[in-house]
A and B are shown apart, each in its own frame.
Chain A
Amino acid sequence: MRSAERPLSPHLQIYRWQLTSVMSILHRAAGLALCAGSVLLVVWLVAAALGPEAYRGVQNFLGSGIGVALLLGWTAALFYHLCNGIRHLTWDTGHALDLRSTYIGGWVVVLATAILTAAAWAAGISHWVFNFASGF
C-alpha cells in the first residue's frame, strides 16, 4: 500500500487544539514578529538621528492605519513573548512542569498579555491627548 493513501495524523479536520501547544507555536510567532518590530525600532532611531525630515517620514507611516495596527500587534507580541518567556524560564529551573501548572501558567500569560497590552495603550493614548493639549 502506498503511504500517500493512509490518513494523516494528527487528523487536522477533527484535531482538538490544546492551549499548551498553541501557546508554544505562538511564542515562536511572537518572536518572529518582534524581530520585524526591532527592525522598525532601528529605522525609527536612525531617522531620529538623521533629522526632522527623515523622522517625519517614519512618523507618518507609524501614524497611519497600517502603522498603528503594526504597533498594536507589536505591543501584544512583546508582552506575550515577555510573559511566556518568564513561564519558560520558570520551567528551566525545573518548576511548574506538571500538566495542571502548565495550563494555569498558560492562562495567566494570556490574561497578563491582554491586561498589559490594554494598559500600555490606554496610558499611551492618554499621554498623546495630554501632549496635544499642552502643545496648544
Chain B
Amino acid sequence: MNRLRLWCLAPSASLLALLFLIPMGIVAVYSLMTRGPYGGVYAPFTLENYARLVDPLYLTILWRSFLYAVISTAICLALGFPLALFISRSGNRKNFYLAMVIVPFWTSFLVRTYAWMFLLRDTGLINTALAATGIISEPLTLLYTPFAVIVGLVYGYLPFMVLPIYATLERMDRSLVEAAADLGARPLDTLLRVIVPLSAPGIRAGSAIVFIACFGAYLTPDLLGGGKTIMIGNLVQNQFTAARDWPFGAALSLVLTGVMMLLLVPMIRSRKEGLL
C-alpha cells in the first residue's frame, strides 16, 4: 500500500521537479548575474539586481500590485460567498449553477479579456448603451483604468473563490443551521456565527488562490490597463522583452514569489482543517 502511495506521487512530483523546480533554480541563478546588451545573462555574479528593487518606482508597482490583489480578492469574496451559499441551497439545480460558474473556462482567458475590452472601450457596449439612453453625453473612460483591471481580475478569478467555498458549504451539516434557528438565532446571526465560521477553510483557500493569481497577474493588466506597466507581472514581462534586462526580471520574479509565500504561509498554517 505504501509503495502504491509513492507511485501515485511520482508522476506529479517528477513533473514539478522538471518543469518548476529546475526553472526556478535557473531564474535564481540568472537573478545573480549581469545583463547582456541584447538580453541574455553574463558573468560576473552580482547582487546589484536586488539592490535596484528598493527604487521607489519598483516599490510603487509592488505596492500597487498588492493593493489590486487585495481589492480584487475582497470583491471576489463579497460576490463569491453569497453565490456559493445560493448554489449550495439550490437543491437539484446545484449542478446547473455550478456548470454556469465553470462555463467561462470553455473559452480562452485571452479571448474573454478581449471581450471585456469591447465592453469597456469608449465606443464599447456600455458607453454606447449609456449614450443611447441619454444618461451620458461624453463616453466614460472605462478601459485602461485601474477600474478595468480590477473588473478583469474579479471576472477572471471569481470561480476560484466560489468553488472552494461551495465545497465547504456543501459539506456542512444542514441540521446545524436548523439548530441555530432552534436556539433563537435569526438568519443573519446564523450566517455570521455558524455558516461563515464553518466555511472558513473554503474562504481561506479561495482567498489564497485568488490573491496569488491576482498578485502575479500579467494578461489582465496588460490588456485592460493599457500599455503602462501597472502590476508586477507586467514589469517582469517588460524586463525580459523591451528592457532586455533578464537578471533584473529574474530578481523581480523571485521577489514576487517570496512576497507571496511570506503573505500566505501564515494564513495556510493557521488553518485547522484541510484546505478543501
- Same complex: no
* Chain B interfacial positions (CB closer than 8 Å to A): none
Question: Contact residues of A with B, CB < 8 Å?
Answer: none
